[in-house]
Protein backbone atom coordinates (compact mmCIF):
# COMPACT_ATOMS: atom_id res chain seq x y z
CA UNK A 1 0.00 0.00 0.00
CA UNK A 2 1.36 3.42 -0.89
CA UNK A 3 2.44 6.06 1.59
CA UNK A 4 -0.79 8.02 1.76
CA UNK A 5 -4.46 7.22 1.44
CA UNK A 6 -4.82 9.40 -1.64
CA UNK A 7 -1.98 7.57 -3.42
CA UNK A 8 -3.77 4.24 -2.86
CA UNK A 9 -6.66 5.35 -5.10
CA UNK A 10 -4.89 4.14 -8.22
CA UNK A 11 -4.78 0.59 -6.83
CA UNK A 12 -8.50 0.43 -6.04
CA UNK A 13 -10.76 -1.62 -8.30
CA UNK A 14 -14.29 -2.89 -8.35
CA UNK A 15 -14.49 -6.67 -8.65
CA UNK A 16 -14.88 -7.64 -12.34
CA UNK A 17 -16.55 -10.94 -11.44
CA UNK A 18 -19.79 -9.04 -10.83
CA UNK A 19 -22.06 -8.15 -13.74
CA UNK A 20 -22.21 -4.51 -12.65
CA UNK A 21 -21.64 -2.19 -9.72
CA UNK A 22 -25.22 -2.59 -8.48
CA UNK A 23 -24.69 -6.32 -8.02
CA UNK A 24 -21.38 -5.73 -6.24
CA UNK A 25 -22.61 -3.14 -3.77
CA UNK A 26 -25.53 -5.41 -2.91
CA UNK A 27 -23.22 -8.39 -2.36
CA UNK A 28 -21.04 -6.24 -0.13
CA UNK A 29 -24.06 -5.28 1.97
CA UNK A 30 -23.96 -1.60 1.10
CA UNK A 31 -27.65 -1.37 0.13
CA UNK A 32 -30.14 -1.61 2.99
CA UNK A 33 -32.98 0.29 1.35
CA UNK A 34 -33.39 2.07 -1.96
CA UNK A 35 -35.80 3.49 -4.46
CA UNK A 36 -36.78 1.15 -7.31
CA UNK A 37 -34.02 -1.47 -7.51
CA UNK A 38 -34.55 -2.39 -11.16
CA UNK A 39 -34.40 1.25 -12.21
CA UNK A 40 -31.27 1.82 -10.12
CA UNK A 41 -29.55 -1.24 -11.59
CA UNK A 42 -30.24 0.01 -15.11
CA UNK A 43 -29.24 3.57 -14.24
CA UNK A 44 -25.90 2.54 -12.74
CA UNK A 45 -25.17 0.18 -15.65
CA UNK A 46 -25.73 2.96 -18.17
CA UNK A 47 -23.92 6.19 -19.06
CA UNK A 48 -22.27 8.12 -16.19
CA UNK A 49 -24.66 9.86 -13.81
CA UNK A 50 -24.01 12.48 -11.14
CA UNK A 51 -24.68 11.42 -7.56
CA UNK A 52 -23.97 12.84 -4.11
CA UNK A 53 -23.74 12.25 -0.41
CA UNK A 54 -23.93 14.94 2.26
CA UNK A 55 -21.78 15.24 5.37
CA UNK A 56 -22.67 17.71 8.10
CA UNK A 57 -19.83 19.45 9.98
CA UNK A 58 -20.93 18.52 13.51
CA UNK A 59 -17.31 17.76 14.49
CA UNK A 60 -13.86 18.54 13.08
CA UNK A 61 -13.57 15.04 11.61
CA UNK A 62 -15.58 12.31 9.97
CA UNK A 63 -15.93 8.98 11.77
CA UNK A 64 -16.27 5.30 10.88
CA UNK A 65 -19.96 5.57 10.05
CA UNK A 66 -19.05 8.16 7.40
CA UNK A 67 -16.46 5.79 5.96
CA UNK A 68 -19.28 3.54 4.74
CA UNK A 69 -20.59 6.44 2.66
CA UNK A 70 -17.15 7.39 1.37
CA UNK A 71 -16.51 3.86 0.16
CA UNK A 72 -19.88 3.66 -1.56
CA UNK A 73 -19.12 6.97 -3.27
CA UNK A 74 -15.76 5.58 -4.37
CA UNK A 75 -17.22 2.36 -5.76
CA UNK A 76 -19.71 4.30 -7.85
CA UNK A 77 -16.89 6.56 -9.04
CA UNK A 78 -14.84 3.51 -10.04
CA UNK A 79 -17.84 2.43 -12.12
CA UNK A 80 -17.54 5.69 -14.06
CA UNK A 81 -20.12 7.84 -12.28
CA UNK A 82 -19.57 11.43 -11.15
CA UNK A 83 -19.51 12.11 -7.40
CA UNK A 84 -20.43 15.30 -5.59
CA UNK A 85 -19.22 15.62 -2.02
CA UNK A 86 -21.56 17.93 -0.16
CA UNK A 87 -20.40 19.32 3.16
CA UNK A 88 -23.32 21.08 4.78
CA UNK A 89 -22.30 24.54 5.83
CA UNK A 90 -26.02 25.35 6.10
CA UNK A 91 -27.46 22.10 7.48
CA UNK A 92 -24.53 21.96 9.91
CA UNK A 93 -25.86 25.15 11.47
CA UNK A 94 -29.28 23.53 11.98
CA UNK A 95 -28.62 19.97 13.09
CA UNK A 96 -30.13 16.69 11.98
CA UNK A 97 -32.64 15.50 14.61
CA UNK A 98 -31.22 12.91 16.98
CA UNK A 99 -33.61 10.37 18.53
CA UNK A 100 -33.48 11.76 22.07
CA UNK A 101 -32.57 15.44 22.36
CA UNK A 102 -31.71 18.64 20.52
CA UNK A 103 -28.21 19.04 19.19
CA UNK A 104 -25.98 21.79 20.50
CA UNK A 105 -25.85 24.53 17.86
CA UNK A 106 -22.28 25.50 16.99
CA UNK A 107 -21.38 29.06 16.00
CA UNK A 108 -20.96 29.90 12.33
CA UNK A 109 -17.19 30.38 12.57
CA UNK A 110 -16.71 26.90 14.03
CA UNK A 111 -18.97 25.32 11.43
CA UNK A 112 -17.13 27.11 8.60
CA UNK A 113 -13.81 25.82 9.92
CA UNK A 114 -15.13 22.27 10.18
CA UNK A 115 -16.49 22.51 6.63
CA UNK A 116 -12.93 22.95 5.38
CA UNK A 117 -11.68 19.99 7.43
CA UNK A 118 -14.41 17.69 6.14
CA UNK A 119 -14.03 18.80 2.54
CA UNK A 120 -10.35 17.83 2.72
CA UNK A 121 -11.21 14.47 4.26
CA UNK A 122 -13.88 13.62 1.68
CA UNK A 123 -11.55 14.59 -1.18
CA UNK A 124 -8.88 12.22 0.12
CA UNK A 125 -11.05 9.16 -0.53
CA UNK A 126 -12.18 10.08 -4.04
CA UNK A 127 -10.24 10.74 -7.21
CA UNK A 128 -9.81 14.40 -8.06
CA UNK A 129 -8.67 13.66 -11.60
CA UNK A 130 -10.33 12.65 -14.86
CA UNK A 131 -13.77 13.16 -16.37
CA UNK A 132 -15.52 11.98 -13.22
CA UNK A 133 -13.36 13.77 -10.65
CA UNK A 134 -15.09 14.53 -7.36
CA UNK A 135 -16.51 18.04 -7.04
CA UNK A 136 -17.07 19.53 -3.60
CA UNK A 137 -20.17 21.62 -2.88
CA UNK A 138 -21.44 23.51 0.16
CA UNK A 139 -25.18 23.99 0.65
CA UNK A 140 -24.54 27.32 2.34
CA UNK A 141 -23.80 28.68 -1.14
CA UNK A 142 -27.42 28.37 -2.28
CA UNK A 143 -29.13 28.57 1.10
CA UNK A 144 -27.69 31.80 2.50
CA UNK A 145 -28.93 34.07 -0.35
CA UNK A 146 -32.48 32.74 0.11
CA UNK A 147 -34.91 34.76 2.24
CA UNK A 148 -37.28 33.10 4.68
CA UNK A 149 -40.19 34.09 2.44
CA UNK A 150 -38.52 32.50 -0.59
CA UNK A 151 -37.79 29.35 1.40
CA UNK A 152 -41.41 29.01 2.56
CA UNK A 153 -42.97 29.88 -0.82
CA UNK A 154 -40.63 28.08 -3.19
CA UNK A 155 -39.74 25.01 -1.16
CA UNK A 156 -41.97 24.73 1.89
CA UNK A 157 -45.15 24.65 -0.19
CA UNK A 158 -44.27 21.18 -1.49
CA UNK A 159 -44.04 19.61 1.98
CA UNK A 160 -47.01 18.21 3.89
CA UNK A 161 -46.80 18.39 7.67
CA UNK A 162 -48.56 15.05 8.10
CA UNK A 163 -45.88 13.34 6.02
CA UNK A 164 -43.11 15.14 7.84
CA UNK A 165 -44.48 14.02 11.21
CA UNK A 166 -44.29 10.39 10.13
CA UNK A 167 -40.54 10.53 9.52
CA UNK A 168 -38.85 8.20 11.98
CA UNK A 169 -36.47 10.77 13.49
CA UNK A 170 -39.29 13.28 13.95
CA UNK A 171 -41.80 10.84 15.42
CA UNK A 172 -39.20 9.54 17.89
CA UNK A 173 -38.57 13.06 19.14
CA UNK A 174 -42.27 13.93 19.33
CA UNK A 175 -42.75 10.94 21.62
CA UNK A 176 -39.82 11.92 23.84
CA UNK A 177 -39.78 14.29 26.80
CA UNK A 178 -37.56 16.70 24.86
CA UNK A 179 -39.94 17.16 21.94
CA UNK A 180 -38.53 18.78 18.80
CA UNK A 181 -37.88 22.38 17.83
CA UNK A 182 -39.04 23.90 14.56
CA UNK A 183 -35.35 24.32 13.72
CA UNK A 184 -34.64 20.59 13.68
CA UNK A 185 -38.11 19.81 12.29
CA UNK A 186 -37.18 21.86 9.22
CA UNK A 187 -33.98 19.88 8.59
CA UNK A 188 -35.65 17.45 6.20
CA UNK A 189 -36.91 20.37 4.09
CA UNK A 190 -33.37 21.73 3.80
CA UNK A 191 -31.92 18.37 2.83
CA UNK A 192 -34.67 17.92 0.27
CA UNK A 193 -33.85 21.35 -1.12
CA UNK A 194 -30.21 20.31 -1.50
CA UNK A 195 -31.16 17.41 -3.75
CA UNK A 196 -33.46 19.64 -5.81
CA UNK A 197 -30.71 22.25 -6.22
CA UNK A 198 -28.17 19.65 -7.34
CA UNK A 199 -30.71 18.06 -9.67
CA UNK A 200 -31.37 21.44 -11.29
CA UNK A 201 -27.80 22.72 -11.49
CA UNK A 202 -25.71 19.53 -11.72
CA UNK A 203 -28.19 17.03 -13.21
CA UNK A 204 -27.74 14.95 -10.05
CA UNK A 205 -29.87 11.78 -10.14
CA UNK A 206 -28.93 9.90 -6.97
CA UNK A 207 -28.34 10.59 -3.28
CA UNK A 208 -26.75 8.14 -0.87
CA UNK A 209 -26.80 8.16 2.92
CA UNK A 210 -27.31 6.02 5.99
CA UNK A 211 -30.59 4.16 6.29
CA UNK A 212 -31.36 6.21 9.41
CA UNK A 213 -31.46 9.17 6.99
CA UNK A 214 -34.06 7.53 4.75
CA UNK A 215 -36.74 10.06 5.61
CA UNK A 216 -34.40 12.90 4.64
CA UNK A 217 -33.29 11.11 1.48
CA UNK A 218 -36.86 10.61 0.29
CA UNK A 219 -37.64 14.23 1.11
CA UNK A 220 -35.37 15.04 -1.80
CA UNK A 221 -36.76 12.47 -4.22
CA UNK A 222 -40.33 13.52 -3.38
CA UNK A 223 -39.47 17.20 -3.80
CA UNK A 224 -37.91 16.61 -7.21
CA UNK A 225 -40.99 14.66 -8.29
CA UNK A 226 -43.37 17.41 -7.14
CA UNK A 227 -41.35 20.42 -8.28
CA UNK A 228 -39.92 19.04 -11.52
CA UNK A 229 -42.18 16.12 -12.40
CA UNK A 230 -39.06 13.94 -12.60
CA UNK A 231 -37.73 10.80 -10.94
CA UNK A 232 -34.60 10.71 -8.81
CA UNK A 233 -33.15 7.95 -6.69
CA UNK A 234 -31.76 7.23 -3.24
CA UNK A 235 -29.72 4.47 -1.61
CA UNK A 236 -29.69 3.96 2.15
CA UNK A 237 -26.74 2.01 3.52
CA UNK A 238 -27.18 -0.24 6.57
CA UNK A 239 -26.33 0.99 10.03
CA UNK A 240 -23.36 -1.15 10.98
CA UNK A 241 -23.73 -2.95 14.31
CA UNK A 242 -21.72 -5.69 15.93
CA UNK A 243 -23.08 -9.23 16.05
CA UNK A 244 -23.79 -8.81 19.77
CA UNK A 245 -25.97 -5.77 19.06
CA UNK A 246 -23.53 -3.16 20.34
CA UNK A 247 -22.86 0.03 18.42
CA UNK A 248 -20.15 -0.20 15.79
CA UNK A 249 -17.32 2.32 15.82
CA UNK A 250 -17.36 2.96 19.55
CA UNK A 251 -14.38 2.29 21.79
CA UNK A 252 -15.10 2.72 25.48
CA UNK A 253 -17.69 5.35 24.65
CA UNK A 254 -15.56 7.30 22.18
CA UNK A 255 -16.10 7.47 18.44
CA UNK A 256 -13.41 6.15 16.10
CA UNK A 257 -12.45 9.20 14.05
CA UNK A 258 -10.75 9.34 10.65
CA UNK A 259 -8.47 12.19 11.76
CA UNK A 260 -5.20 10.80 13.12
CA UNK A 261 -5.00 13.50 15.79
CA UNK A 262 -8.36 12.38 17.22
CA UNK A 263 -7.90 8.61 16.86
CA UNK A 264 -4.29 7.56 16.40
CA UNK A 265 -3.39 5.09 13.63
CA UNK A 266 -2.34 2.66 16.36
CA UNK A 267 -5.75 2.84 18.08
CA UNK A 268 -7.44 2.68 14.69
CA UNK A 269 -5.49 -0.47 13.75
CA UNK A 270 -6.24 -2.10 17.11
CA UNK A 271 -9.95 -1.39 16.71
CA UNK A 272 -10.08 -3.40 13.50
CA UNK A 273 -7.74 -6.10 14.82
CA UNK A 274 -10.19 -6.73 17.68
CA UNK A 275 -13.11 -7.43 15.33
CA UNK A 276 -15.14 -10.46 16.38
CA UNK A 277 -15.04 -13.57 14.19
CA UNK A 278 -18.77 -13.21 13.62
CA UNK A 279 -18.32 -9.71 12.17
CA UNK A 280 -15.04 -9.83 10.28
CA UNK A 281 -16.25 -11.17 6.91
CA UNK A 282 -18.96 -8.54 6.60
CA UNK A 283 -16.45 -5.86 7.56
CA UNK A 284 -14.11 -7.09 4.83
CA UNK A 285 -16.91 -6.80 2.28
CA UNK A 286 -17.87 -3.27 3.26
CA UNK A 287 -14.59 -1.65 4.20
CA UNK A 288 -12.00 -3.14 1.84
CA UNK A 289 -11.37 -3.42 -1.88
CA UNK A 290 -10.47 -7.09 -1.61
CA UNK A 291 -12.13 -9.23 -4.27
CA UNK A 292 -14.92 -11.72 -3.68
CA UNK A 293 -12.44 -14.60 -4.06
CA UNK A 294 -10.01 -13.08 -1.54
CA UNK A 295 -12.78 -12.55 1.00
CA UNK A 296 -14.05 -16.10 0.47
CA UNK A 297 -10.56 -17.41 1.24
CA UNK A 298 -10.45 -15.37 4.45
CA UNK A 299 -13.90 -16.60 5.39
CA UNK A 300 -12.56 -20.15 5.13
CA UNK A 301 -9.58 -19.18 7.29
CA UNK A 302 -11.93 -17.86 9.99
CA UNK A 303 -13.81 -21.17 10.01
CA UNK A 304 -10.76 -23.46 9.86
CA UNK A 305 -8.17 -21.60 11.95
CA UNK A 306 -9.78 -18.72 13.85
CA UNK A 307 -6.89 -18.58 16.32
CA UNK A 308 -4.61 -17.26 13.56
CA UNK A 309 -6.88 -14.21 13.15
CA UNK A 310 -5.78 -13.93 9.52
CA UNK A 311 -8.99 -12.16 8.51
CA UNK A 312 -8.70 -9.62 11.33
CA UNK A 313 -5.06 -8.87 10.51
CA UNK A 314 -5.95 -8.39 6.85
CA UNK A 315 -8.92 -6.18 7.72
CA UNK A 316 -6.87 -4.03 10.10
CA UNK A 317 -4.07 -3.63 7.56
CA UNK A 318 -6.37 -2.80 4.64
CA UNK A 319 -8.58 -0.25 6.39
CA UNK A 320 -5.78 1.46 8.32
CA UNK A 321 -3.77 1.74 5.10
CA UNK A 322 -6.82 3.15 3.33
CA UNK A 323 -7.37 5.85 5.94
CA UNK A 324 -3.86 6.60 7.23
CA UNK A 325 -1.52 5.27 4.57
CA UNK A 326 0.91 2.38 4.48
CA UNK A 327 3.70 3.97 6.52
CA UNK A 328 1.44 4.74 9.50
CA UNK A 329 -0.01 1.25 9.30
CA UNK A 330 3.41 -0.40 9.34
CA UNK A 331 4.36 1.79 12.32
CA UNK A 332 1.22 0.68 14.18
CA UNK A 333 2.01 -2.98 13.47
CA UNK A 334 5.61 -2.52 14.60
CA UNK A 335 4.46 -0.84 17.80
CA UNK A 336 2.02 -3.63 18.56
CA UNK A 337 4.74 -6.26 18.10
CA UNK A 338 7.38 -4.34 20.07
CA UNK A 339 5.11 -3.79 23.05
CA UNK A 340 4.89 -7.53 23.49
CA UNK A 341 8.60 -8.18 23.14
CA UNK A 342 8.65 -9.05 19.42
CA UNK A 343 10.47 -5.95 18.21
CA UNK A 344 12.78 -3.14 19.25
CA UNK A 345 10.93 -0.50 21.26
CA UNK A 346 13.67 2.08 20.86
CA UNK A 347 13.26 2.01 17.08
CA UNK A 348 9.67 3.26 17.22
CA UNK A 349 8.97 6.91 16.56
CA UNK A 350 7.91 8.88 19.62
CA UNK A 351 4.41 9.77 18.39
CA UNK A 352 3.45 6.21 17.51
CA UNK A 353 4.82 4.88 20.78
CA UNK A 354 3.02 7.52 22.85
CA UNK A 355 -0.24 6.84 21.02
CA UNK A 356 0.11 3.13 21.70
CA UNK A 357 0.81 3.66 25.40
CA UNK A 358 -2.21 5.92 25.80
CA UNK A 359 -4.37 2.99 24.73
CA UNK A 360 -3.04 1.04 27.72
CA UNK A 361 -3.50 1.72 31.40
CA UNK A 362 -0.90 4.39 32.06
CA UNK A 363 0.41 6.86 34.63
CA UNK A 364 2.49 10.00 34.63
CA UNK A 365 5.40 9.96 37.06
CA UNK A 366 9.02 10.99 37.65
CA UNK A 367 12.23 9.17 36.76
CA UNK A 368 12.84 8.50 40.48
CA UNK A 369 9.77 6.25 40.82
CA UNK A 370 10.48 2.66 41.78
CA UNK A 371 9.35 -0.23 39.60
CA UNK A 372 7.53 -1.69 42.61
CA UNK A 373 5.48 1.46 43.08
CA UNK A 374 4.76 1.73 39.35
CA UNK A 375 3.48 -1.84 39.27
CA UNK A 376 1.02 -0.87 41.99
CA UNK A 377 0.13 2.51 40.48
CA UNK A 378 -0.67 0.95 37.12
CA UNK A 379 -2.67 -1.86 38.77
CA UNK A 380 -0.47 -4.56 37.27
CA UNK A 381 -0.34 -5.87 40.83
CA UNK A 382 -2.49 -5.21 43.87
CA UNK A 383 0.25 -4.59 46.44
CA UNK A 384 3.94 -3.83 46.89
CA UNK A 385 4.57 -7.32 48.27
CA UNK A 386 2.99 -8.84 45.17
CA UNK A 387 5.18 -6.57 43.04
CA UNK A 388 8.35 -7.75 44.78
CA UNK A 389 7.27 -11.36 44.39
CA UNK A 390 6.62 -10.89 40.66
CA UNK A 391 10.09 -9.34 40.23
CA UNK A 392 11.78 -12.16 42.15
CA UNK A 393 10.03 -14.70 39.94
CA UNK A 394 11.35 -13.00 36.78
CA UNK A 395 7.94 -11.91 35.56
CA UNK A 396 8.42 -8.12 35.32
CA UNK A 397 9.89 -6.29 32.33
CA UNK A 398 10.81 -2.68 31.75
CA UNK A 399 11.09 -1.86 28.05
CA UNK A 400 11.16 -5.64 27.39
CA UNK A 401 14.16 -6.15 29.70
CA UNK A 402 13.61 -8.29 32.78
CA UNK A 403 13.76 -6.41 36.09
CA UNK A 404 15.87 -8.30 38.64
CA UNK A 405 16.17 -5.75 41.47
CA UNK A 406 13.11 -4.94 43.53
CA UNK A 407 14.74 -1.64 44.51
CA UNK A 408 15.15 -0.52 40.89
CA UNK A 409 13.86 2.83 39.68
CA UNK A 410 13.06 4.08 36.23
CA UNK A 411 16.27 6.06 36.17
CA UNK A 412 17.43 6.74 32.64
CA UNK A 413 15.74 3.71 31.09
CA UNK A 414 13.42 5.77 28.91
CA UNK A 415 12.28 5.44 25.33
CA UNK A 416 11.83 8.24 22.76
CA UNK A 417 9.38 10.80 24.09
CA UNK A 418 10.29 10.14 27.75
CA UNK A 419 8.12 7.06 28.08
CA UNK A 420 8.57 3.48 29.24
CA UNK A 421 6.72 0.19 28.86
CA UNK A 422 6.08 -1.85 31.99
CA UNK A 423 5.03 -5.46 31.48
CA UNK A 424 4.03 -8.22 33.83
CA UNK A 425 4.16 -11.68 32.31
CA UNK A 426 3.60 -12.02 28.57
CA UNK A 427 0.54 -9.87 27.93
CA UNK A 428 -0.22 -7.45 30.78
CA UNK A 429 1.11 -4.00 29.89
CA UNK A 430 1.13 -0.44 31.17
CA UNK A 431 2.50 2.82 29.86
CA UNK A 432 4.73 5.15 31.85
CA UNK A 433 4.95 8.84 30.92
CA UNK A 434 7.80 10.66 32.63
CA UNK A 435 7.32 14.34 33.26
CA UNK A 436 10.31 16.54 32.42
Question: Which of the residue ranges 108-117, 167-176, 293-302, 306-315 would you say has the lowest mean pLDDT?
Answer: 167-176
For the whole model, what pTM was predicted?
Answer: 0.91
Phi-psi region of 38 (alpha: psi -120 to 50; beta: other; left: phi over 0): alpha
pLDDT above 80 (res 367): yes
| End-to-end alpha carbon distance in the chain | 38
The domains found in the chain, sorted by start residue, are 6-239 (3.40.50.620), 240-343 (1.10.240.10), 360-436 (3.10.290.10)
Task: Specify the 3-state DSSP secondary structure of 395.
Answer: coil
Kindly list the distances between the CA atom of residue 91 and the CA atoms of 143, 181, 253, in Å, as whole numbers in the listed order.
Answer: 9, 15, 26
Distance CA 418, CA 416 (A): 6
Residue 54 β-bridge partners: 86
Phi-psi region of 110 (alpha: psi -120 to 50; beta: other; left: phi over 0): alpha
371, 389, 388: which is closest to 430 by C-alpha? Answer: 371
Band (1; pLDDT cuts 50, 70, 90): very low
Q: Tell me the per-residue pLDDT of 268-323, one tens digit each, with 9 for 90 and over.
A: 999 999 999 999 999 999 999 999 999 999 999 999 999 999 999 999 999 999 99
For 125-145, the three-class secondary structure string (H helix, E strand, C coil) is: CCCCCCCCCCEEECCHHHHCC
Contacts (Cβ under 8 Å, ≥6 apart) of 236: 31, 32, 33, 34, 208, 209, 210, 211, 213, 214, 217
Residue 51 has φ and ψ, to the nearest 5°, of: -140, 165
Residue 308 CB-density burial (10 A; 0-12 exposed, 13-18 middle, 19+ buried):
exposed
CB neighbours of residue 76 within 10 Å:
27
Distance CA 216, CA 208 (A): 11
62, 6, 9, 100: which is closest to 249 by C-alpha? Answer: 62
Q: What is the mean pLDDT of the chain?
A: 93
Q: Tell me the per-residue pLDDT of 20-68, one tens digit each, with 9 for 90 and over.
A: 999 999 999 999 999 999 999 999 999 999 999 999 999 999 999 999 9
Amino acid sequence: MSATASESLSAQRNDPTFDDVWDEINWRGLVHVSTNADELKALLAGPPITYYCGFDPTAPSLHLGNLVQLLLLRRLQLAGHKPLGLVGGATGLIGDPRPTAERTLNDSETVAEWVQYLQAQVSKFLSTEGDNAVRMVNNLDWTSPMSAIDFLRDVGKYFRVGTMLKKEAVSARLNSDAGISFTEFSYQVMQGMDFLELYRTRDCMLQTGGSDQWGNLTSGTDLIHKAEGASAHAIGTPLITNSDGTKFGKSEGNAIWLDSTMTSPYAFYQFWLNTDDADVVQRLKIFTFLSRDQITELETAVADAPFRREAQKTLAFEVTSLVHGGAATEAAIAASAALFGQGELSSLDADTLAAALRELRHVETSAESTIVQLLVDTALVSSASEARRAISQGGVYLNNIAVADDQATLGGELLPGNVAVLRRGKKTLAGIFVSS
